[in-house]
Structure 1
Amino acid sequence: MRSVSTISSNVAPRVRPTLPRLPVPELRQTLERYLASLEPLMREDERLGKASYEASYAIRSKRAHEFEYTIGKVLQDRLYALDRASPNNWLDDNFWINKAYLEWRAPLLVNSNWWLAFHDDELVPPSALTGESSDSRAGITLWQIRRAAWIVHRVLDFKEQLHSGELHPETTRTGIWLRQSTSKMFNIGRLPAPLCDIVCSPPPADSPDARKLLLTIHNWFYAIPVYHQTNSPTDVPQLMSPKEIAAQISAVVLDVEQRLTSGESAVPIGILTADHRDHWAANQKHLLSLDPKNRKSYQTMLASVMGLSLDHLTHTIPPSPRTSHCPQTISQQTLDAHLHTIRGHSLNVSNRFYDKPFTLIVDPSTRAGATGEHSPCDALVPSIVAEYGIVQGVDEAAFEGALDGTDPGGWERLDWIVDDKIRKECDAAHARALKIVEDSDDSVLWFEGYGTDWIKGIAKFAPDAYIQMVLQLAWYKTRGEFTATYETVLTRMFKHGRTETLRTLTNDSRAWVLRMVDPQSTPTTRYTALQRAIQTHGRLTREAATGKGIDRHLLGLRLMLRPEEGEHTPFFEDELFERSQQWKLSTSGLSAGHLFRGTGGRNLK
């Protein structure tokens, strides 16, 4: 009989896969694809009487040819050299997070932060869904606390299992990508700075702040422990149970209630993070200079594992003239009010810390969702984490034998020392935030005529490409013109891969739209045109996903220019070059899943 050790020694260890490096595309290939992407815009200019297609194409083709054999070759060689010097990825190591996010000065509210609106939890009692409860304290309800504690526990459980390899182990490429991406979601924050922000580094694993949750109620910030204390720095911290997390939240709620009863009100520091980034940078510098306590509170907020905002009011909006068949008999205004709650509205816009990459939001009716600062990772990553957090509903039994109401201790106020300048800046930032909210909207139209199964099974089309064509048609029918269109394609097959742009407006998509609005076109002609447009979209998707897109390459080439040495090129100065990247129609998508009522992402410059 063989010994166990003999059997084990004959089993080859599973080789850990590696992700390939993101390639630097060939220059000529990129230029050819770039010219092809300009064709629908040039044809549209001709249709509108601006310039002939042949003349416009000849100009751009000549510029591309000259670029390729002059400065373009120099820039390409510099990009190759940068790639050789980059440890992981020529794009992500050097440019992407700054150019795509941190240099952008627009407020994070609406403009940049992603958001997810969750479906209601079927295990929450119907009586709790009204948000009106006799057990309410400071406007916070019992089931609001339970659902918040439950989802926090689930999200952090996903984090721990991913880290330990129990979920999506690093023996798969998906595991490598997801673990590397998810690690950027927790224990960090975005720091405002003039011209370009900074993403702070996570604290040491044994830092007490790393084991805390940032809790916001009535515009006050608190830190509560969500991991048990360890006996030594080498011990692995144990995640608290949902009941223990709920006890910590409840203790804070009681403290908030006492503060309100005494007539105290919070200085809404959180609203400063929703402001223009240069305004926030100046205010943050002033705020930290006022007192060492402010710096300590701020450091705890940045280092905290994630955020939780409990709103004390359930947002409602008047009935809308637009009606749709929403699921589960929910009204359109209730659905839209939920989306507005997660995006931000006049009643809760200050009850946030917008610089955290992941913040859970729960209101008194237990409506929930999440939002986060976008730069550390792409929005698909938190949507995967959030799905794990809500796929199992609240187990009421997990809260049985709840703690007897005694203060569990460990939580702390994160208060601020402020002056009149900060108070005035908070008022001004709040006014600006309300203008942003009032100038934006979000809604979901539930279309039940057909869906993904019909598109794939009967029409035999890829659902994403099909919907992209629908968006092109809808834009044209409402605007009377075409526009450059942005769609995100993940490059996660590469080491530290992020995204590439798919330019959805093509000659073929434009041709299909024009046939759809032409009353003389036959159904057969329209269908054939749609087939061709979707085939082209599929090819562009594959190219973008495999590192053969054009926009990231063009960005890299542009950044290789040395204007301080007098370098410039008409290729990058072309009006059409700029217009081809003005994404009036931005179609970035998140996982729709079966657990989200709606999702939203950043607006693009």
Structure 2
Amino acid sequence: MLKWLTTSNYVSDWWEKYVYLRGRSSIMVNSNYYVLDAFTYMPCTNQLARAALFISNILKFKRDLDREEIEPITIRDTVPLCMAQYERLFTTTRIPGKECDTLEHHDYSSYIVVLRKGRYYQLSVYNRKGQILAPFEFENHLHWIVEDADRGDSASYEEEHLAAFTAEERHVWAAVRSEHFASGVNKESLDIIDKAIFVLSLDTETPKDLSSRGKALLHGNGYNRWFDKSFTLVLFPDGRAGLNCEHSWADAPVVAHMWEWVMCHETEDAYDEHGHNIRPESTTPRVATAAPHKLAWDFSPKLSEAIKTAVAKATTIINDLDLSILHHSKYGKDYMKHAKISPDAYVQMALQLAYYHDSNGETPLTYESSMTRLYKQGRTETVRPASVDAREFVRAMVNPSVTKEQRIQLLRKAGETHQNLYRDAMSGKGIDRHLFALYVVSQGLGVDSPFLKDALSRAWKLSTSQQPQQQTKLWEPEGKDRHKIGPGGGFGPVADDGYGTSYMFAGSHCLFAHVSSKISAKNTDSARFANNLERAFEELAALFR
């Protein structure tokens, strides 16, 4: 009763605190996630020009958000979703603590921080009249930053690898901050990063393919992302872009909404024939802008050793991540609907079948996230796709004595069961968050509950999430804007011996699936699972031929 009286949502603050902020392991790979840009659309290959336009568009989105001019997200244009999570999209940083982290949010900031080759630069984003700089002005500033960072006197080892602290175990990073960043120039520079609107990383290496780009966005080299920031915008040398996002402050659809808005406002006519942002032809003098400011640091021998340790730990995590991105182009959600099955249920049944093939007959404890933003300050609820009906369908698919008609019947039954579970999760009838809240209460009251301990300690061998392709009315992914369709993003595995799988319907005729696992696990292989998923899609399609 007291919890109900003092909060707007009985579970969301506990979820944020105990699931995210009290986690003591590295948030790189284990918590943060990544987002890719469009699959084929590349109006510009100039890294700095595209970065400049993205900075401008992100700030315009922020301006409209601050003015409450962003159209709220609704279901079927009628039921609004809670938009509270958007409040911490910008100027937010996760601050490490000994036992629990905190989220530090600032209502106003006038700059971003740019990271290039280990050098950090404070870049003002407004002119002296408070106006957002033009894209060509941002491009000029970024050009100066790159020239300064790339010249002969390169950053010291400590400066170049400083961000590895944000990939450290949280209690270790907290102790380092307390000892080495609590005063002087280190505190001043760290405060600048903490209070920045966001961080921009101008990378120097180009990933060779889509899966490599996903890995680069998820963890980089372990020290060219500021993992504590609400998000880091990343631009590769070939102009490709993406985001690395901290997870505790909000869920992925919030970032996806902003990214969709930003991508929709990028057009070919923003760049000239040489790949630079167009400078407006105006006789009006431009308002003066502040030059970029390079941050300074003071590294003691003890701090230097701590950085080396952090780098080694980050490298170990990176080397253990296996990531494969599948582009399934043979059919998409239209085919699934034609088969009279919900597209999400169809993919989830394919995932169950793929896991069966991958594991020689196992049924995994499966997690699928469902949003609960129909309620104030709602975040997510768990859908459990590995139902009895799903198991019966999978068994039928590998039983040669079962007819095609019987398999279709079992698939549709399993799909309907899944849809009911999903609807229940969205509408507050799920069980997992309720059990979680009961566990928190039991711990607070000192009551031992073997049932709750067991229910909440089981590992999710298959952690899944569907990503939204379209949340705004700014574009037509099924029509004239089909070329702007993106592959979405992904996250690391939840269990040491399991898979993390996110998927996105790219229009009506294809989909992307991001599969992650750990190389150290003897039973997993991301490329193998992606192949088994493709096999499952083919086996399901064959039922309707």
Q: TM-score range by the shorter chain?
A: 0.7 to 0.9
Amino acid in structure 2 at the alignment position of 1:466: Y
Shift of the alpha carbon at 1:603? 3.9
| Contact 1:297–1:414 (8 Å) recurs in 2 | yes
Q: 1:570 to 1:444 in 2, by over 3 A?
A: closer
Q: 1:120 to 1:548 in 2, by over 3 A?
A: closer
Measure the CA separation in 2 of the matches of 1:489 and 1:122. 30
Shift of the alpha carbon at 1:349? 2.6
- In the other structure, the counterpart of 2:49 is 146
Say whether residues 1:100 and 2:3 are aligned partners.
no
Question: How many pairs were matched up?
Answer: 468
Amino acid in structure 1 at the alignment position of 2:485: L
Say whether residues 1:589 and 2:494 are aligned partners.
no
Measure the CA separation in 2 of the matches of 1:120 and 1:366. 13
Measure the CA separation in 2 of the matches of 1:242 and 1:175. 34
- In the other structure, the counterpart of 1:463 is 343
- In the other structure, the counterpart of 2:38 is 119
Measure the CA separation in 1 of the matches of 2:256 and 2:350. 25
Say whether residues 1:335 and 2:210 are aligned partners.
yes
- In the other structure, the counterpart of 1:390 is 263
Say whether residues 1:411 and 2:292 are aligned partners.
yes
- In the other structure, the counterpart of 1:21 is none
- In the other structure, the counterpart of 2:4 is 83
Measure the CA separation in 2 of the matches of 1:173 and 1:164. 22
| Correspondence 1:203-602 to 2 at 5 A | 204-205=107-108, 210-230=109-129, 237-258=130-151, 260-261=152-153, 266-289=159-182, 291-316=183-208, 334-345=209-220, 348-391=221-264, 392-393=266-267, 395-397=270-272, 399-401=277-279, 409-456=290-337, 458-479=338-359, 480-562=361-443, 565=446, 567-573=447-453, 575=454, 577-578=455-456, 581-592=458-469, 595-601=485-491
The range that moved more, 502-511 or 443-452, is: 443-452
- In the other structure, the counterpart of 2:503 is none
Q: Which structure shows the higher strand fraction?
A: 2
Shift of the alpha carbon at 1:288? 1.0
Q: List per-residue Cα deviations over 1:497-525 (Å, max 9, x = no partner).
A: 10001111111111111111111111111
Q: List per-residue Cα deviations over 1:406-438 (Å, max 9, x = no partner).
A: x96432112211111222222221121122112
Measure the CA separation in 2 of the matches of 1:602 and 1:462. 26
Shift of the alpha carbon at 1:597? 3.1
Q: List per-residue Cα deviations over 1:236-291 (Å, max 9, x = no partner).
A: x3221111221221221222133x346855342111101111221122222214x4
Shift of the alpha carbon at 1:374? 0.5
Measure the CA separation in 1 of the matches of 2:346 and 2:239. 35
Amino acid in structure 1 at the alignment position of 2:98: P
Asked which structure has the greater CA Rg, the reply is 1
Shift of the alpha carbon at 1:201? 2.7
- In the other structure, the counterpart of 1:177 is 82
Amino acid in structure 2 at the alignment position of 1:396: Y
Measure the CA separation in 2 of the matches of 1:401 and 1:465. 49
| Contact 2:439–2:452 (8 Å) recurs in 1 | yes
| Contact 1:379–1:601 (8 Å) recurs in 2 | no
| Contact 1:251–1:408 (8 Å) recurs in 2 | no
Measure the CA separation in 2 of the matches of 1:197 and 1:263. 29
Identity of aligned residues (%): 31
Identify unmatched segments of 5+ residues in structure 2: 282-287, 471-483, 496-545
Question: What TM-score, normalized by structure 2, do the two folds share?
Answer: 0.81
Determine helix, strand or coil for the equivalent of 2:166: helix
Measure the CA separation in 2 of the matches of 1:263 and 1:518. 62
Amino acid in structure 2 at the alignment position of 1:304: A
| Contact 1:162–1:168 (8 Å) recurs in 2 | no
Question: What TM-score, normalized by structure 1, do the two folds share?
Answer: 0.73
| Contact 2:117–2:160 (8 Å) recurs in 1 | no
Identify unmatched segments of 5+ residues in structure 1: 1-79, 129-142, 231-236, 317-333
Measure the CA separation in 2 of the matches of 1:503 and 1:263. 49
Shift of the alpha carbon at 1:358? 1.4
| Contact 2:348–2:385 (8 Å) recurs in 1 | yes
